[in-house]
Each structure stands twice: as structure tokens, then as C-alpha cells.
Amino acid sequence: MHPDLSVLDPVSFPPAVSAARPGDAPALDRRSFLRLAALAGGGFALALYLRGPDAAAAEPAVSGGAEPGGDFTPSLFVRITPAGEITVLAANPECGQGVKTAFPMLIVEELDAPWARVKIEQADLDPRLGRQAAAGSRGTPTHYQPYRRLGATARALLVSAAAARWGVPTDELQTPGDARVVHAPTGRAATYGELATAAAALPVPDEKTVPLKDPSAFRLLGRRVGGVDNPRIVVGAPLFGLDVRRPGQLFATFVKCPVFGGVVRSADLAAARAAPGVRAVFEVKAPGVASGVAIVADSTWRAFQARDVLKIEWDEGRATGDSDAAFAAAAARLHDAPPAGDPLRGAGDFAAAHAAAAVRVEARYEYPFLSHANLEPQNCTALHRPDGVELWAPTQSPSGARDAAAKALGVAPESVVVHMTRIGGGFGRRLTNDFAAEAAAIAREVSGTPVQLVWTRADDMQHDWYRPGGFHAFRGGVDADGRVVAWGEHFVTYAAGYDTDKVAGVAGLAAAEFPGRLVPNVLIHQSPLPNGIPLGPWRAPRTSAQCFAQQCFLDELAHAAGRDPVEFRLALLAAPAAPAPAGERGPVFDNARMAGVVRLAAEKSGWGAPGETPWPRGRGRGIAFQFSHLGYVAIVAEVTVSKTGDLVIDRVVVAADVGRQIINPSGGENQSEGSVVDGISSALVQRITIEGGRVAQSGFADMPLLRIDQAPKRIETHFLLTDNPPTGLGEPVIPPVPPALGNAIFAATGRRVRRLPFNAADLSWS
Amino acid sequence: MPTTLTVNGRVHELADFDPATPLLWVLRDHLGLVGTKYGCGQGLCGACTVHFNGAAMRSCVLPLAAAAGQKITTIEGLAADARLTPLQQAWCDEDVAQCGYCQAGQIMSATALLAKNPRPTDADIDGALAGNLCRCGTYQRIRRAVHAAASTLPA
């Protein structure tokens, strides 16, 4: 079992579309086509079908046209019935990033239907629907144009149907946004429902010829729209994976070795089998599923209770030697010696530039492993039948869940049905579908009966795919004019296992790393530590961790050179950035866009405003920026620290450039506000420690999350709209949060905290 | 011995239950009331918050024996006659939720707060909701929604 990295961020993997102008590349044209199906009883449905090997099996026998196959019941993006009922499919997993609302908005905008009258329906996994994933903030750049074309094409069909009915040219017809087609010269009008059956008989126009609205004509995009599931969420209606209830459903728990990679040596299952409510206890052995023992019972609680009488002896394996102390000692040894091996990157003459610099600074930074701590513990409901398995899964990658279940059962992926539930928090954890594979393997043992696998909080915390910790040693040089002229970095990170020099996929230095690419003389080394820790993507993989070290060290350089941190950064951004290193295909970085958000964050926070008086000791603010997931973000954090070291975060100002259009400002701001809280939580209070190859923490008592009374008093989000394709907001706001906070703490107290979490450091001052 | 449990005004006679069973699991696995969420099982996250005679209580550490005979209200029991309470309406209007998993517990805690204190300050809200974790970080909107709901209530 490994994280499904194929759907991950465009920084580590080439995006599906041009990095320079992602939203403008119509993926639809190359990979897919639209198909119309007449509905039984009249009306039509419009679907997007993929071309290519993935979809070969799913392609309809009829390639386009209006004639529906008799037994053809596709999942469909847009459905309009003669009664005027309009249904739009939400095809992607919803884990709180807002796509169940925002993506249907794209379709409905171009369809010109009233939002309040459109029913939004959650899709199942269906290869005909294109990419269905919540990963890498790629949803918006991937779907922004194709989904609009879906809506525009449906509208064009309705307009053509009206034109034919009235014998008028289409260019005399209008759609005022109320699901009607209107012919103003004659005053005629027809509802979409009245036109739906006629529209279903028309050929689908080439979507490339269907015009999209000019943004000035948008009625819906850019409006604050509440989440489509809000009415259900506030009354506790079933939505989430753990809410699934199937007839006759049983509940399961799965006990794994606390040491990573450990396996069952022997197990005495008798007492657990005799426990109240228990239906089955068995050792699970399936490809891709961790070794362990499953308990199936008539309630979750009884399954959990029976764990207490389970007797398992583990063969703990090799990871028992892994510990935070050992990793830190190994990192210190590596940092104390000159970096071995070839540099990861080099530019200019670092040694000479560093030696000649007017100001030189050296510092080491480190941060711990992190768990995802989704509030909804990992779970999956499965019903095994002789011909396959049906899953109800809160997963960020439903195709990954399908493949993991198929592998566990040794069946073809086509025999796995995946229903997507709402997800009680993603953050990258649910790109790894271990819970789905486990549920499938457990369900096979009680074939014919649905079973819900529920991880305990401790299971969740101790069997995560962790954000890797890291150790940075920096050497920087600034010239007499305040320009950074030398940037040296030795990054000690984690290997993809033992006996390998290969860096784990989510542990390598990000290709987008800054400020290294802005400095003329650079020398960067990277050393991986062998380990047996499961590592996986954690919201804004790599940059969410690395930005802390890099932007705090940059701040150290600014202060050492006696420069204002904002001015210092703007000077850095005035030089053109080096391109992404060969072989890493990082996206193009636009200095001007980054400088724009740095200026905006400074301006909105009042940084350097005319007439401003210096802040008293104990109050401070810090700035940081990062480019990630195609988004440009700068953040100013303002803090108050008491003499005894109590920290209050007064205000956080976010400036973000994610292109020319915010689809749903309410959702976009929510992502920003949540990212600020998440970023603070990750840097201030969260820490996973490894001892003896296992995670020392087991719940929120020893691995807390940020509480409301620790959250910033105020968070402001300012979007800088620039003429660039719209890109995602699930991740890019996170990375600059920890360094902005660290830089603010320094400004307030004079204490430079170089090791996370901040709350482990003494922040007192006198 | 059967246990009598009153949830949202409905009386349930439960036979064959270990009296130590946490109320959470009786609600979720036996009564089909899945709006009350499992988050940690240790009373530390607040996702399982219900009202126990009107007070916010963590149902994951509340034994069935203690809940028996008491007035229990869950998130499903707040909206009478399918009409949202001012807090539920404010939660929709302010578009508070991200993933939404914690929000039932947040609303239960906030409802108990407003019943005692109809004009809470930010500090009051922070105090009353400090036991309700939101992993998505919607705290700013939670404060805003509580104030919005409070403004519709008689002081």
C-alpha cells in the first residue's frame, strides 16, 4: 500500500496541462468528448466521456449523436427533464475543499440556469467522468474550462432546439439565467424543460465551437454561494463514510502491529470470539494489506471492546531501531561534516560569493513528523459478493480505492464499485487507500453481509502516512547593498525505505523551493535517512514543511543585514528566478506575481504605513511567501507575546494570487482561513514522535489540534486578481503560515525559534 | 434488564445492553442517529456532543446507565417541525462548514451556550467551544455564526 501519488501536486509531477497557462489548456479537447443521451420519458442528459486507454472499456458503442443505446445508463453531468428538473453531477470527492459546490457552479454558470433550482448529485467512481480526485489543488486548473464547456454545450443545444421550433436564427435568442430561452423580437419564450426532448434529438456541437461567456457576463461565478450540503450538515443528516448504514450491516475493527512493518507471529483469538456481539475474528492476509487481526461484531463498540481480550504476538521487524533520537543524531552527523556526494543543485560560485559576502549567517532548522488527524477516523464500508465488492468510501482517490480493493481481493478493478461519501477531512491522508483494501479483505470473510471498518483514534494516529520531518542546515551571504548573494543548504530528509538512497516521494526538496532559485550563487545538498516510517502527502506536500525553514532563514538574513523584511524580499524578487532544475519539471515561477502578493500583504496589514510608530516589545509581525500548487501567497502574521511567553495571534493577513477568477469567494476564503488555522496548528502544537519504530502518540491528549481559543483573533484574505488561469486554493495558503508566525515571534521577542513545534520553545522575554 | 432511554422526545426500551456502553454507540449503531459523530472516544474532540438535560455533554464517554431516564437531545432533535434553529440557520448563512464532520458537535455546544448566555463575547464563545476541535479550521466563521444567531434572539 502506497499513497496514490499519480494524482498529486503539479510541483512533483508534470501537470496534465501546460504549467504556464493551465486553465487555458482544454484537456477536454484532447481526451474526451461529449455525448447526448435521451432520457426515458423525454428530456436529455449530457455526459463527458474520456478517450484513451483508461476509458476504452467504458466508451459507449455509439460514438456521439443523439441516439441512445437501449440499455445505456451512463452517469451524467447535466440532466434536464421535460418537467424542468435540472440535475448536475458533482464528480469529485468532497473533503471540505468545496468542490461539490464550486465545480457544479462552473456548469450552471454557462448553462444559465438559476442555482437555487439546480439539484446537485454526488457521482460514484465512473471512468467516463474524467479525473475524480481531491489532490494537489489540481481540481480547479483541470476542470475550470471543461466543466464550463459542458454547461455551455447543454445551453447551446437548448438554444438550437428553440431556434428550430420558432424558425429563428440562434443569434436572436437569449438565455436570461432563469432556465428559459427567450426570443425578444417576438416575445416568445420556452423553458428548458419544454425544450429538453427536442434538444435530445440534436447532434452535439463540437465543444470547441461553443462560445464561453465573457467573465463580465458571469451571474454565478464570483458570487458567495453556501455549500450545497450545508442544510444536511447542520441537522446531522447522513453524509459521511461513517454514516453509511446498509441493511444487516456489521462493524469491524482491525488490529495491526504498533511497530511499522510488524507482522502477526501468533494469535489466540478464542477469547475475542467469545466476546459479546462478536461474529467473527480472523487474521487478515491479503496483498497490499498490513498484517493484522480483524474483529467483526454487531456494533462498533463491541468490536472495539473485544480488542482488549485479543492476544497477539508480533514479529516487530526491522523498524524497532527507528526513533526521533536516532534520526536527529544521524542528521547532526551529516550536518557536522562537509556534504558528501554531488549537490542537488548548484548555480554560480557559492564558495566565492559566500566568502566575499558582507554579512554571513549560518543556522539549522528542524521540524517533526506530522499526522493528518482527520476528525473522521479512517473507515470504509464494504459488501463482498461472488462477483466483486461494493465500497462506500470517504476517499480522496476513488480510483485508488478501487485498485487497492481489487489488488487485495485478486479481482479485476472493474468488479469493484466505489460510492463516494462526503469525507470528514482529507489533507492528503485519504490519497492512500489502505482502509479500502482492509475493508474489502475483511468483507470477503463475511461475504454477503455489509461491514463497516472503523479505525479507532489510536489506529488513525499510529497507522498514518506521515508528513516527513526534516533537518535543514543553511549558510547564507548578503552583500553590502542588502542583496542575497549566496544560499547554501544541506537538507537531511527521509529515504523511501531502508537500503536505498532514493528520497521518499513526498520528502525531497521541492523543485519550487525559494528563495534558492532567486539567488545567483547556490549550493544545495540533500541526504536521505533510511527508515521504515510510512510517509505520505500532507496538505501542500514538501513546501508546507520546507517553507518554514527557508522563509525563517531568509528573515534571519534580512535582520542580520539590517533590512526591512518586506523590502528585503521585494529586492530578492526583483531578480529573475532560475528555471526549475532539469529533470524536475517544476512549474514556471513568475516573480512579478509573487512581488504583487508580498506588496498586497504588506499594504493590507499596514506594514511600513506612513506615520506608523514602532511596535512595543512583545508585539511583532512577520512576513513569508511561497509558491506552491500554482498559487502565489504572502502572509503577514501579527502576534503578542507576554513576558512569560504566552502567545496570542492577533491577526493574519493573507494575500493570494490564484488567477483571474475566484469561483466561489465564500469557499475560497474558507480555504484560506482554514489553511491559516491548519498552518498554525501544524507549527504551534502538533508533533508526532517515533520511538522504537512506533508512534508515541495515541490521541488528542498527546497530539492536540489547535483549539478555537488559540486560533487567530482575526484572519483576512485578499485575492489579487491577475490575468492568469484560475488555480486551486486547497493548499497554497498553508506553506507561508508557519514562517510568518515564526518571524512574528522573533520580531516580538527577539527569540528565533528554529525547531517546531513553537509551543515547545520558551518564548519569554524581559 | 431493559433500559429506558429518551432521545429527542422519543422513548426507547433497550434490552440486553451493557450499561457501560457509551451513549454515542447506542445512538449511532442501534438507534440510527448518525449525526452524533465519533472522533476520538476520549471526550477530547467534541464531535459527539449531545445535550444531557440541556447541558453539552460528550456522548462517547457517557455510559448508557448515566443517560437512562434523562432528557437526551441530539443534533437531529434541534430543528422542530423541520425548521432550522437560529444557530443552524446562521451556520448555513455564514457558510461555516468545510468538511462538516465536527459541525454537529459545534452546533450542540453553541446551542447550550446561547441557552445560558444569549449575548456571548468572542471570549465566551472561545471558552464554551474550546472542547470542540475543527480540523479544517473554521473557528473564525463559528464565532461569526454564533454572534449572528445571538443577534436574532431576545437578550
- What are A396-406's pLDDT values in tens digits? 999 999 999 99
Domain boundaries, chain A: 5-232, 241-317+378-454, 324-370+466-760
Q: Is the pLDDT of residue B62 over 60?
A: yes
| Maximum mean pLDDT: which of A13-17, A75-79, A399-403, A507-511 | A399-403
Question: How high is the pLDDT of residue A200?
Answer: 86
Among A301, A460, A681, A733, the residue to mutate for chain B (most B Cβ within 10 A): A301
Helices A665-684 + B139-151 axis angle, to 10 = 120
Per the model's pLDDT, the better-predicted residue between A649 and A41 turns out to be: A649
Classify domain A324-370+466-760 by CATH number.
3.30.365.10
- Alpha carbon of A531 to those of A1, A343, A496, A504, A546: distances in Å? 16, 22, 7, 10, 20
Chain A 205-224, CB below 8 Å of chain B: which residues? 224
Question: How high is the pLDDT of residue A467?
Answer: 98
In whole angstroms, give the CA distance from residue B26 to residue B63.
10
- What are A308-331's pLDDT values in tens digits? 999 999 999 999 999 999 999 999
Per the model's pLDDT, the better-predicted residue between B128 and A614 turns out to be: B128
- What are A106-124's pLDDT values in tens digits? 999 999 999 999 999 999 9
Question: How high is the pLDDT of residue A401?
Answer: 98
Q: Is the pLDDT of residue B51 over 90?
A: yes
In whole angstroms, give the CA distance from residue A47 to residue A244.
28
A277 touches chain B (CB under 8 A): no
Among B40, B45, B51, the residue to mutate for chain A (most A Cβ within 10 A): B40
Return mean pLDDT, chain A: 90
Cβ atoms of B103 and B124 closer than 8 Å: no
Cβ atoms of A139 and A13 closer than 8 Å: no
- What are A212-237's pLDDT values in tens digits? 999 999 999 999 999 999 999 999 99
- Could A236 and B88 be called an inter-chain contact, meaning their C-beta atoms sit closer than 8 Å? no
| C-alpha grid cell, residue B140 | 473564525
Split at pLDDT 50, 70, 90, the class of A43 is: confident
DSSP A196-256: HHHHHTSPPPPGGGSPPPPGGG-SSTTS----TTHHHHTTT-S-BGGG---TT-EEEEEEE
Question: How high is the pLDDT of residue A552?
Answer: 98
- What are A358-393's pLDDT values in tens digits? 999 999 999 999 999 999 999 999 999 999 999 999
- Same CATH topology for A5-232 and A324-370+466-760: the answer is yes
Cβ atoms of A510 and A542 closer than 8 Å: yes
Cβ atoms of B64 and B19 closer than 8 Å: yes
Return mean pLDDT, chain B: 96
Chain A 444-483, CB below 8 Å of chain B: which residues? 454, 456-457
Split at pLDDT 50, 70, 90, the class of A1 is: low
Q: Is A338 exposed, middle or buried (0-12, 13-18, 19+ CB in 10 A)?
A: exposed
Question: How high is the pLDDT of residue A15?
Answer: 29
Question: How high is the pLDDT of residue A34?
Answer: 66
A204 touches chain B (CB under 8 A): no
- What are A138-157's pLDDT values in tens digits? 889 989 998 999 999 999 99
Split at pLDDT 50, 70, 90, the class of A584 is: low
Class of domain A241-317+378-454: alpha beta
Question: How high is the pLDDT of residue A644?
Answer: 98
- Could A711 and B101 be called an inter-chain contact, meaning their C-beta atoms sit closer than 8 Å? no
In whole angstroms, give the CA distance from residue A525 to residue A473.
10
Residues of chain A with Cβ-Cβ distance to B120 below 8 Å are none
Write down all domains in chain B, each with its CATH number in brackets. 3-77 (3.10.20.30), 80-151 (1.10.150.120)
CA-nearest residue of chain B to A682? B135
- What are A531-560's pLDDT values in tens digits? 999 999 999 999 999 999 999 999 999 999
Question: How high is the pLDDT of residue A75?
Answer: 41
- What are A442-473's pLDDT values in tens digits? 999 999 999 999 999 999 999 999 999 999 99
Question: How high is the pLDDT of residue A48?
Answer: 62
Mode of pairing for the β-strands spanning B3-7 and B71-73:
parallel
Question: How high is the pLDDT of residue A665?
Answer: 98
Classify domain A5-232 by CATH number.
3.30.365.10
- Could A301 and B25 be called an inter-chain contact, meaning their C-beta atoms sit closer than 8 Å? yes
Question: How high is the pLDDT of residue A14?
Answer: 29
A712 touches chain B (CB under 8 A): yes
Q: Which residues pair with A623 in a beta bridge?
A: A636
Cβ atoms of A312 and A291 closer than 8 Å: no
Q: Please name the member of B76, B79, B129 whose beta carbon is closest to the beta carbon of A708.
A: B129
Q: Is the pLDDT of residue A47 over 80?
A: no
Question: How high is the pLDDT of residue A513?
Answer: 72
Residues of chain A above pLDDT 90, percent: 80
Residues of chain B with Cβ-Cβ distance to A666 below 8 Å are 95
Q: Is the pLDDT of residue A195 over 90?
A: yes
Question: How high is the pLDDT of residue A741?
Answer: 98
What order do you get walking across the sheet with A359-367 strand by strand?
Answer: A345-347, A521-529, A484-494, A470-478, A359-367
Q: Is the pLDDT of residue A51 over 70?
A: no
Cβ atoms of A423 and A394 closer than 8 Å: yes
Our measurement of the distance from residue B120's CA atom to the centroid of its chain's CA atoms, rounded to an integer in Å, reads: 18
Q: Is the pLDDT of residue A635 over 60?
A: yes
Q: Is the pLDDT of residue B11 over 50?
A: yes
In whole angstroms, give the CA distance from residue A315 to residue B31.
41
| C-alpha grid cell, residue A618 | 512583545
